[in-house]
Amino acid sequence: MRVLLSTSAPAATGAFGSTHTEASGTGTVDLDAAYALPEPVPGIPHVRSNFVTSVDGAIEIDGRSGGLGGPADRLVFRTLRWLSDVVLVGAGTVRAEDYGPVPVPAERQERRVAAGLAAVPPVAVVSGRLDLDPQARLFGGAVRPLLLTSEAAPARARRALEPVADIVICGERTVEPPAVLAALAARGLLRVLTEGGPSLHAQFAQAGLLDEACVTLAPVLAGPGRLGMMTGPAWAAPLDLRLVHVLEESDVLFLRLARRPDSDSDSDSDSDSAGR
């Protein structure tokens, strides 16, 4: 893997020391340093998302993301998880991808604990209906998942899942993104990695709660009719991001983008006839 562009020098050592170095024919990238998170501020969550997408914006092929990512994507995917306190995901993605607990190698668990994190980050699932099988892989790990739901969740489903997960109410009729972050912060889970899906991603971004987006751009055209990175109602205005870095391996690009503190746009005054 190589660095194509870096707009801010990564920390000299990542949160866990400069130890997770990924080398390839064209260079060396310390992924821990490249994706290092700011030191958490008590009570203030940092939320980043991670998606793999085709060049034409598809995030799934036949309902799964696996056909888009390759070995380098899986490495970045795992590194982002290992740098996080919690993996936040919508129930649609859990069902589509048959989510399991987060695998963390023993050596990595030790480094996480030494850095003040839990050995393994829990998975936190946002669901209104709680239509999840208590026997599913997700509930078979050492760390209990969190199920973030609303007061309107069906009582029967809730009772069935109580033995295998911690159920947290984060809204009255529907799950509210600020309540999700407050519930996670109350548990000391401030470094939040959301792996989508597109419905949850859109809600967090629209609520101004997404601090950064990590995007793997696969050199693929998936064609029409696929899901994109966001679903839901149209926004009144786009959200501007700032490029932090671009990494590359085997024609796959890895973009890290951060939310701009101000999203002023001057594009209206100088747009050409194509509107760009």
Ligand X SMILES: NC(=O)c1ccc[n+]([C@@H]2O[C@H](COP(=O)([O-])OP(=O)(O)OC[C@H]3O[C@@H](n4cnc5c(N)ncnc54)[C@H](OP(=O)(O)O)[C@@H]3O)[C@@H](O)[C@H]2O)c1
**CB of residue 230 to ligand X, shortest distance in Å:** 9
With CB under 6 A as the contact rule, which of the stretches 31-39, 88-96, 161-169, 260-268 interacts with ligand X? 88-96
Distance CA 39, CA 117 (A): 12
Q: Does 227 bind ligand X (CB under 6 A)?
A: yes
Distance CA 131, CA 4 (A): 43
103: which DSSP letter?
P
Residue 6: beta bridge partners? 245
Among 203, 205, 210, 244, indicate the residue that binds ligand X (CB under 6 A).
203
**CB of residue 127 to ligand X, shortest distance in Å:** 4
Q: In Å, how far are 63, 198, 238 from 206, measured between CA atoms?
A: 24, 12, 9
Q: Which of residues 172-201 bind ligand X (CB under 6 A)?
A: 174-175, 195-200
**CB of residue 177 to ligand X, shortest distance in Å:** 7
Distance CA 244, CA 226 (A): 28
Distance CA 109, CA 131 (A): 31
Contact 18, 32 (CB under 8 A): yes
Amino acid of residue 209:
L
81 or 112, CB closer to ligand X?
81
User: Which one, of 106, 99, 194, lies nearest residue 141 by Cα?
Assistant: 99
Q: Does 92 bind ligand X (CB under 6 A)?
A: yes
**CB of residue 81 to ligand X, shortest distance in Å:** 13
Distance CA 25, CA 48 (A): 29
**CB of residue 159 to ligand X, shortest distance in Å:** 16
1 or 202, CB closer to ligand X?
202
**CB of residue 24 to ligand X, shortest distance in Å:** 22
Residues 6+ apart with CB under 8 A from 234: none
Among 90, 121, 122, 145, indicate the residue that binds ligand X (CB under 6 A).
90
Bridge pairing between strands 212-218 and 241-249? unpaired
Size of the site for ligand X (CB under 6 A): 31
Among 22, 76, 127, 230, indicate the residue that binds ligand X (CB under 6 A).
127
- The contact mask relative to ligand X for 44-73 (x = CB under 6 A, - = no) is -------xx------xx--xxx--x-----
User: By the criterion CB under 6 A, which residues form the site for ligand X?
Assistant: 51-52, 59-60, 63-65, 68, 89-93, 96-97, 126-129, 131, 174-175, 195-200, 203, 227, 231
